[in-house]
Structure 1
Amino acid sequence: MSPHKLLLPLLLLTTPLLAQQRYELNTGWQATPKSKVSVDGAALSQPTYALSGWQPAVVPGTVLTTQLANKQVPDPFYGMNNKQIPDIYRTGRDYYTYWFTKDFTEKVTGDEQAWLHLRGVNYSCDVFLNGQKLNAQTHHGMFLRQTYNVTPYLAKDGKNRLAVIVYPPDPVGNPNGGQGGDGTIARNATTQYTAGWDWIQPIRDRNTGIWDKVTIEKTQQINVKNPHIITRVPGKRKPTGPQAPATVQVSAELDNPTAKAVAGVLRYTIDGRTVEQKVTIPARTTQQVSLKDLSLPNPKLWWPNGYGEQPLYESKLQFLVRGKTVSDEETVQVGVREIQREWNTTTQSMEVHLNGQKIFIKGGNWIISDAMLRFTDARYDAEIRFHRDMNLNLIRVWGGALVERPEFYQACDKYGMLVMQDFWMSGDANGRWVDPMKLEDQWTRRQYPNDHQLFIKSAADQVKMVRNHASLAIWCGGNEITPPKDILTALEDSVLPKLDGTRWFVPYSNSDSMSYNNQGGNGDGPYGIQNLRSFWQHRTYPFNSEVGSVGVGDEESLARFVPPANMVPPRYLGADKKPTEAVDSVWQYHLYIGYEDHLLPYGAPKNVRDFGLKAQLVNYDQYRALMEGFSSHMWEWYTGSIIWKTQNPWTALRGQMYDYYLDPNACLYGLRTGSEPLHVMYNPVDSAVVLVNNTFETKRDLMLVVDAYDMAGKKTSLTQVIVEINPSQAKKYLPIAGTMRKLAREKGTFLMLQLQDLNKQPVSQNFYWIPDAKGQYSGLQTMNKAPLGVSARQTAPGKVEVTLTNPANQPVAFFNRVSLVNQQTQKRVLPTFYSDNYVSVLPGGRQTITLDYTPGAEAGTPAVSVEGWNVAKQVVPVAQ
């Protein structure tokens, strides 16, 4: 009889953990500045000590989030408010040194053990419980978890008080306008962006606080810690069909805090199969135990977005005292997959492989979800879903922030986003360049941080925290620079081989080992707005870790954080002027990156509303062309590209596919189009039609249909031909340069490309607006209005279907933004996820867009707003 058939009767012999539970301490906290406390932590943490004059605190959170919640500071994300908040460099560290307390009810009986977990404190802290100090030495380090067995210190009546004093980083850094300010913030192992960057103003408390989850866990005698699940998927696989077996390798740390040795069984269960081992854990020791390999037949494999599905297995790791009573269990979501890599000698860069298949990387750079560390599962899910909707397959977590939280990785597992995770280094603060903004010379900065052993210990801890996630693909030593030699050696030779060993390690983000830098420069960029042709014809770095452009939202997005008096659009001054644009002070403070003269072909913006609309046209074109240009040269010039950047954790006016408030702009949908797995596109350099197939299957029996439309809506059929394309290929078809020049000469033209299946249904379509012979969009500026029909109906709770129709013999209904709004307030419902947006409807055409949102008070009674370039704004109710 096979082992898995014995599972059911075996489980019936066990008894459940009598009091096993884990819960978060996330409400009812109080805080006050250290300067207002006259007693020590032993006295303060006595439940009978009166906390008169203390204020409600935000935990998880920072001092600044607590101050904001108590209305002691203005919203630092709005206008120039951040300038009104005292900066720690001026006030001194004591100003932001705070006590945090939490009263809670808990007690233990029998063999129960209670554990206090602090998943993140920035930067140093001392921890007290019921008059007892839990840490013998002051804890240091933002990226180092703390666990305390508090069983002996819990009050017999169950009424307990936890008190934590939190000290800011030291030094705090001078926010002098440099990248990372004067650089000295990097003497700590902490978030470097808090001293300011070119996309954010300084965070005044430098993120000081109990910024991550605080939990109480109860077990019996043995605590199961840091489980490690590895999946091995040999051979070259495909997403569908029967699969050869995969191998699951399991280990865990077993912690016995009691005075007696404990005998039992460590058991792992996945998909109805189990593997286990008898073990005895000596008193007051922690022991790592590895189980025998488990074979998983016909596994459901996990794939990156665009290449397959993302099934996740729920698995359990349990310790059973004497093989019967569950002392502790950990649940781990497992995606069965294997990460590999291979050097591409043609491109001179690394290819990412998964389950034996090469993956063309279409990625986005991620800073952090919120600059004040206000993390929520819902926000993580929404942001990663947006990345999925952009047809991306990788997110790089930038080294000036943090190793992202497990909730971030859970969303990446769910949506198929591979992750390249940097450690806490940056070329700016850590000495890659001579920099007059930095306090200390390059050689001194190359030795940051102050405590190398703390960095190594923190790295090991964070690896253990996130290593089980299927999405984690690449570890990276730092942003644009390696860590100091002893740290790098520890990561490469000890920490990662011992604690992970399954992923590619890159010494730094633009390292030659990832992408051979044969183009000069730093191995990444450019970052500003570009001529669309450059993405196609200018060869850049073969695996570009950072390349980006603009990203300003529309009027409604801007109004959320720009005061009415400052809603003044930038004005282009001329290429010979420095700067080239006149920009309002609030826009400058929010670090606007310029559109220069790229809006002028549409006509100089008349006001903020007009600026926002024209910026969206440029946004869409920029990011569509970026990914199309890279994809057209995949495996020839490139193995991947990572956009700098796809989101902002602050209300910055640059590089974002959606704003801080989760309102998408046209960047998202241009990128979504340009990143389609199977895609038809137009090369603006030679006017060729190009097909890209980023799947593992040959695509046959496809009809390529190419049509042009003039400004009045008259159609010119250019070609219709059967095509096919092999897997992982870009293929050129049909140069139409002469025809396009003729059609576009006077007023420009529209170009519709479609790939249709045998049922005449489009499997890819792409709509371009082509300028006239002078490079102007003169025809757009004189277009007649289109009478677009709009209807909306609810198809399920939180789901709406919008249908757009354009009568025959009308102009193209061009570039329509669909928004779900609250019918009473007329404000957009955020976040809302659109199957497409900024869409154009052909004469006699019809477009259906699906909307997904969370019903509730903000949404109220929903309605749908639609407005386009030549379509008057209309708001229609959602039919039930």
Structure 2
Amino acid sequence: MHLHWRLLGLCLGINAATAVSLVSEPGDVAIIPSWDIQSSEIIGTDLEALSRPGVDTTTWHEVDSSRCTLMGCLIQAGVYRENGLFYSNALQNFNSSQFKVPWIYRKEFALEPSAGQYFHIRTHGINSGADIFVNGKDIVTKEFQSGAYVGGSYDITGVAKDQNALVVRVYPTDYNYDFALGFVDWNPYPPDNGTGVWRDVEVKQTGPVALGPLRVTTQVGLPIENSSAFVGLKATATNLEDREVTVELRGTISLEGGDQSYDLNQTVTIPPLETAELDLSTAINGPAIWWPRQWGGQPLYLGQLSISVDGSVSDKVEQTFGIRQVTSGLNLHNDTIFYVNGFPFQVSGAGYSADMFLRWDTAKFTTQAKLMLDLGLNTVRLEGKNEHPELYEIADRLGLMVLPGWECCDKWEAWTYNEDLAVKSEWTAADYTIANRSMYHEALMQQAHPSVLGYLVGSDYWPDDTAAEMYYYSLKAADWQGPIIASASERGYPAVLGPSGLKMAGPYDWVPPNYWYDVDPAEDRLGAAFGFGSELGAGVGTPEIGSLKKFLSESDLEDLWRNPDKGLYHMSTSVSSFYDRKIYNDGLWNRYGVPSSLDDYLLKAQIMDYEATRSQFEGFSALWSAERPATGLIYWMLNNAWPSLHWNLFDYYLHPAGSYFGAKVGARIEHVAYDYNGKLVYLINHSLDRKGLRSVVVDVIDKNGKTLYSNSTVVETEPNASKDILDLTEALGSITDVAFLRLVLLNDKKTVLSRNVYWLATTIDTLDWENSDWFYTPVTEYANFTALSNLPAAKISITLATPRSHQYEAAKSISVVVENHSKVPAFFIRLNLVDEDGGDVLPVVWSDNYITLWPNEKLKLQVEGKGGAAVQVSGGNIKKAKIYL
């Protein structure tokens, strides 16, 4: 046998005798690092033979990735190119028939079996189900390894050898019949429907006793400033031998980068082939408290648990965690409000989408999370796209809250009372089992992370009583300590959980900026700024030209402005209410005038997008302290699964545009905002510690720069609160066509905390609330901003305030001064950092952008982005220019 393997190794160019074992000691966990994949149509279905070492895989696709769906794998292997797949409507003609049969994932690896050592294959979810073989032996079938979130640990000790072959056969996924990760109308379905090993498969080595995942419980007293904490380390231990085993249990808790450390010990006896629940706990005086980024720091602890048998380590597990308290409750209006460390926490967030082919990119998500924080957002919602452990680890360290949950519109919500499904495959007994195992696995993965705000066990619909009880007790079995919420809507609720306190009443398509402030009567005002809106927005997020040219053809670009009602492949699916931009374009055409070119259309689109997101985030922020508070909003959406023409705060390529900078203004931690309906000015404070006197400067000018109103007032700001401070009804009474309103907030040292410019018409848009649909409210009379197309020309300059020696090679911040040298306002100035070839610098962070300058006003802006060579400048009434750095 050894000679056979040596000869085989030489044939394959590998010395099998010197192959490094994937794991080498008890407690080691190794990820299967790469795969060879192939269709069963080509290689057959004899898994017993395919899972024996030495199979020739030279005709297979070699994939240098530990986890990927079939499409993700084939892109990584160079079979397809993303740019080609995403260009125009190329994906529409893709031949997906190759994915109607099972595919095989295969990998060989070395181990060092010996007496008293045990080996396990661990899964964390395979779409839609899988048969797993090792060394010619059946380990598990798809009847048990089924569901995108089902994890399992399978003992392979009896078949483990020096050289091993692992085979995973994956079955085609159907969103209507399988517990998978679907996309509904966000984008076209991927050709493979997400089939494959989308999460890591691991090999673990243990001694005679194995540990399950480490669960961490924390209890912290209030008030948080004078708190103590009680921390528990828990795990399930399994005796793998047919003899009684006594284990020495050792736990440690230590503060990362600090001197707090706690050692815990215990001795436990476990009967043959039985399990035992282990629990070590201790009190911590003066713990380091974890906070959301806007409220404080993110100290993390490391919990470690190890067990020894006869003086030798048998297994070990560890988990980072934070000490904090998250709760939720219903207020007097039956709206959910969250509390973090005892303080009311207004959720200001957006809905995340996984990549269309479920490709995980740690660096990209880190950038996305940092962009969210730059926006001033505090929460990301995951609707069924629960992703990987890295997402929660990144959120923990950055201080971004996460609200995960199950998805809508497919098998996950195939309830008898759900009439929205085109195909309703109602749950069987086996389905409840899969869903239950899914819940337990996700709960174990997420429960220790301080960034997790709660879990939504339903999205558009609530789970039935059987599923809800199952979910609830699985979460509790995993030591879940956060809120458990029935669904993201208020349609109904299960007995075990009660009302969700969240609303999902739209909008999802364009509505005017005054929509959010029109809150009475609440029963007719749908998504307006009261209560907790779990997914809502004005359907905006138009990419700029640099991104558009990456995925649209010339004819596609022409359609944007020449055919305003045409269905567009890069909107939503053809059967969706969002397949075209008709509602959006009706607003643009009527409010800003018929576009004269693609450039003109994109300028007006960015203006529309900016005012839409700004007003939404401002509306909810302004009414945080209202009689019926706006307790939270999740903007629909944060990002796109593929290059899209709507529903984002930054585009697929991470380029920020109008929707980004409107939201960034609207979500500032200290802010002054204008209420279009009441003509009121609101003072907003999202902090916990900023207080004292503030100055609010209000100026109104007409399109020629003539002053119509000017005022300065001193008010006192209160932490975590909002209030109206001024009524501008009289001040705005003299507008004849368009005017500009500037609100500036300064602290007691005259430092500008917020600067905000609005363009206002003589009237606001008239909403037809009685004829609202589930995704928008019609407008019967539009505000008239066409005068903005005929503004007097303004002359501006862009100068570099940072020495040229500090260029972008290290992505350092550069100061850019923008100055208006005219007696008229310079409207909607767009700045775009580009490289030497004229391409967008990505990622990029601007302190502010898409700005409007008062006559003779100048602003200093900061920009960060590696490789910048010039700044492109354009706007409403200025000449295009390119300023070299």
- TM class, shorter-length: 0.7 to 0.9
- Report what 2:346 is aligned to: 360
Quote the Cα distance in structure 2 between the aligned partners of 1:111 and 1:616.
Answer: 66
1:126 is displaced (CA, Å) by 1.6
Matched-pair contact (CA < 8 Å) for 2:794–2:822? no
Matched-pair contact (CA < 8 Å) for 2:791–2:877? no
1:730–1:226 CA distance, 2 compared to 1 (3 A)? same
User: Mapping of 1:185-204 within 5 angstroms?
Assistant: 185-193=175-183, 197-204=184-191
Partner secondary structure for residue 126 of structure 2: coil
Q: Deviations over 1:300-355 (max 9, x none)?
A: 22222433332222333333445x6544433322121111123211x331211111
User: Mapping of 1:301-380 within 5 angstroms?
Assistant: 301-321=289-309, 325-345=312-332, 347-366=333-352, 368-380=353-365
1:132–1:624 CA distance, 2 compared to 1 (3 A)? same
Q: Deviations over 1:697-745 (max 9, x none)?
A: 4621211111234445555661112101333332112212222232x32
1:374 is displaced (CA, Å) by 0.4
The partner residue of 1:749 within 734, 739, 760 is 739
- Report what 1:45 is aligned to: 51
Quote the Cα distance in structure 2 between the aligned partners of 1:209 and 1:621.
Answer: 42
Q: Which runs of 5+ in 1 are unaligned?
A: 1-16, 173-184, 574-579
Q: Deviations over 1:364-408 (max 9, x none)?
A: 222x3212110121122122222222222222221xx34332112
User: Are residues 1:668 and 2:643 paired?
Assistant: no
Matched-pair contact (CA < 8 Å) for 2:795–2:821? no
Quote the Cα distance in structure 2 between the aligned partners of 1:374 and 1:432.
Answer: 34
| One-letter amino acid of the counterpart of residue 767, structure 1 | V
- Report what 1:9 is aligned to: none
- Report what 1:251 is aligned to: 234
User: Mapping of 1:643-662 within 5 angstroms?
Assistant: 643-662=635-654
Partner secondary structure for residue 559 of structure 1: helix
| One-letter amino acid of the counterpart of residue 536, structure 1 | Y
User: Are residues 1:229 and 2:212 paired?
Assistant: no
- Report what 2:32 is aligned to: 25
1:717–1:329 CA distance, 2 compared to 1 (3 A)? farther
Quote the Cα distance in structure 2 between the aligned partners of 1:517 and 1:536.
Answer: 23
Quote the Cα distance in structure 2 between the aligned partners of 1:449 and 1:395.
Answer: 33
Quote the Cα distance in structure 1 between the aligned partners of 2:313 and 2:580.
Answer: 57
- Report what 2:11 is aligned to: none
Q: Deviations over 1:84-133 (max 9, x none)?
A: 22345xx7832xx1111112333245655443322221112122222233
User: Are residues 1:116 and 2:121 paired?
Assistant: yes
1:536 is displaced (CA, Å) by 0.7
- Report what 1:406 is aligned to: 389
User: Mapping of 1:710-859 within 5 angstroms?
Assistant: 710-713=702-705, 718-742=710-734, 744-746=735-737, 748-771=738-761, 775-791=784-800, 793-794=806-807, 797-823=810-836, 825-853=837-865, 859=867
1:625 is displaced (CA, Å) by 0.6
Identity of aligned residues (%): 23
1:226 is displaced (CA, Å) by 1.3
| One-letter amino acid of the counterpart of residue 832, structure 2 | S
1:424–1:548 CA distance, 2 compared to 1 (3 A)? closer
Matched-pair contact (CA < 8 Å) for 1:710–1:750? yes
1:835–1:19 CA distance, 2 compared to 1 (3 A)? farther
Quote the Cα distance in structure 2 between the aligned partners of 1:118 and 1:819.
Answer: 44
1:220 is displaced (CA, Å) by 4.4
Quote the Cα distance in structure 2 between the aligned partners of 1:395 and 1:733.
Answer: 31
Quote the Cα distance in structure 1 between the aligned partners of 2:49 and 2:500.
Answer: 59
| One-letter amino acid of the counterpart of residue 430, structure 1 | A
> TM-score when scaled to structure 1?
0.85
Partner secondary structure for residue 623 of structure 1: helix
Matched-pair contact (CA < 8 Å) for 1:62–1:210? yes
Matched-pair contact (CA < 8 Å) for 2:218–2:324? yes
- Report what 1:680 is aligned to: 672
- Report what 1:465 is aligned to: 445
User: Are residues 1:531 and 2:512 paired?
Assistant: yes
Q: Deviations over 1:13-49 (max 9, x none)?
A: xxxx96754333233x211110122462221122222
User: Mapping of 1:587-736 within 5 angstroms?
Assistant: 591-594=579-582, 595-600=584-589, 601-635=591-625, 636-637=627-628, 638-697=630-689, 699-713=691-705, 718-736=710-728
1:40–1:446 CA distance, 2 compared to 1 (3 A)? closer
Matched-pair contact (CA < 8 Å) for 1:680–1:692? yes
Partner secondary structure for residue 560 of structure 1: helix
Q: Deviations over 1:439-463 (max 9, x none)?
A: 45xxxx5547862112112211221
The partner residue of 2:875 within 868, 873, 879 is 868
Matched-pair contact (CA < 8 Å) for 1:256–1:262? no
Q: Deviations over 1:759-781 (max 9, x none)?
A: 21112222222235672241453
| One-letter amino acid of the counterpart of residue 644, structure 2 | A
Moved more, 207-216 or 419-428: 419-428
1:424–1:642 CA distance, 2 compared to 1 (3 A)? closer
Matched-pair contact (CA < 8 Å) for 1:834–1:850? yes
Quote the Cα distance in structure 2 between the aligned partners of 1:320 and 1:834.
Answer: 54
Q: Deviations over 1:520-560 (max 9, x none)?
A: xx742122211211211134452222221122212222222
User: Mapping of 1:235-314 within 5 angstroms?
Assistant: 235-237=222-224, 243-258=226-241, 261-271=245-255, 272-292=261-281, 294-314=282-302
Matched-pair contact (CA < 8 Å) for 1:231–1:337? yes
Quote the Cα distance in structure 2 between the aligned partners of 1:73 and 1:613.
Answer: 34
1:337–1:375 CA distance, 2 compared to 1 (3 A)? same
Quote the Cα distance in structure 1 between the aligned partners of 2:429 and 2:613.
Answer: 37
1:646–1:85 CA distance, 2 compared to 1 (3 A)? same
Moved more, 103-112 or 623-632: 103-112
| One-letter amino acid of the counterpart of residue 817, structure 2 | L
| One-letter amino acid of the counterpart of residue 449, structure 2 | H
> TM-score when scaled to structure 2?
0.84
Partner secondary structure for residue 516 of structure 2: helix
1:167–1:454 CA distance, 2 compared to 1 (3 A)? same
1:433–1:646 CA distance, 2 compared to 1 (3 A)? farther
1:765–1:226 CA distance, 2 compared to 1 (3 A)? same
Quote the Cα distance in structure 2 between the aligned partners of 1:165 and 1:715.
Answer: 72
| One-letter amino acid of the counterpart of residue 296, structure 1 | I
Partner secondary structure for residue 489 of structure 2: coil
Moved more, 789-798 or 477-486: 789-798
Quote the Cα distance in structure 1 between the aligned partners of 2:817 and 2:246.
Answer: 68
1:227 is displaced (CA, Å) by 0.9
| One-letter amino acid of the counterpart of residue 207, structure 1 | G
Quote the Cα distance in structure 1 between the aligned partners of 2:732 and 2:498.
Answer: 37
User: Are residues 1:491 and 2:471 paired?
Assistant: yes
Matched-pair contact (CA < 8 Å) for 2:249–2:268? yes
The partner residue of 1:130 within 127, 130, 135 is 135
1:598–1:388 CA distance, 2 compared to 1 (3 A)? same
- Report what 2:481 is aligned to: 502
1:144 is displaced (CA, Å) by 0.8
Partner secondary structure for residue 639 of structure 1: strand
Partner secondary structure for residue 36 of structure 1: helix
1:753 is displaced (CA, Å) by 1.0
Partner secondary structure for residue 806 of structure 1: strand
1:852–1:698 CA distance, 2 compared to 1 (3 A)? closer
Partner secondary structure for residue 396 of structure 1: strand
Quote the Cα distance in structure 2 between the aligned partners of 1:67 and 1:408.
Answer: 24
1:344–1:587 CA distance, 2 compared to 1 (3 A)? closer
1:489–1:826 CA distance, 2 compared to 1 (3 A)? same
Quote the Cα distance in structure 2 between the aligned partners of 1:265 and 1:219.
Answer: 15
